[in-house]
Amino acid sequence: MRLDKLLAGCGKCTRKEAGRAVAKGLVTVNGKTVKDKTFDVNEAADEVTFCGEKLFYSRFTYIMLNKPSGVLSATEDKEKTVIDLLPKELQRLGLFPCGRLDKNTEGLLLLTNNGPLSHFLLSPKCHVVKKYFFTLASPLIESDVQRLESGVDIGEYVTAPARVTMVSEKEGYIEIGEGKYHQIKLMMNAVGNKVEYLKRVEFGALSLDKSLEIGCFRPLSEEEIAALLDCMPN
Q: Are 7 and 22 in contact (CB under 8 A)?
A: yes
Q: How far is the CB of 137 from ligand URA (least distance, A)?
A: 14
Pairing outcome for strands 195-203 and 130-136: antiparallel
List the one residue out of 176, 81, 82 whose CA is nearest residue 134: 176
- Known active-site residue 144: no
User: Distance between CA 15 and CA 153 in Å, rounded?
Assistant: 50
We find the least distance from the C-beta atom of residue 125 to ligand URA, in angstroms, to be 19
Interface residues toward ligand URA, by CB under 6 A:
101-102, 105, 182-185, 198
Least Cβ distance, residue 101 to ligand URA (angstroms): 4
How far is Cα 172 from Cα 182, in angstroms, rounded to an integer? 17
**Other residues' Cβ atoms within 10 Å of the Cβ of residue 74:** 16
Out of 102, 144, 153, 230, pick the active-site residue.
Answer: 102
**Which residues form the catalytic set?**
102
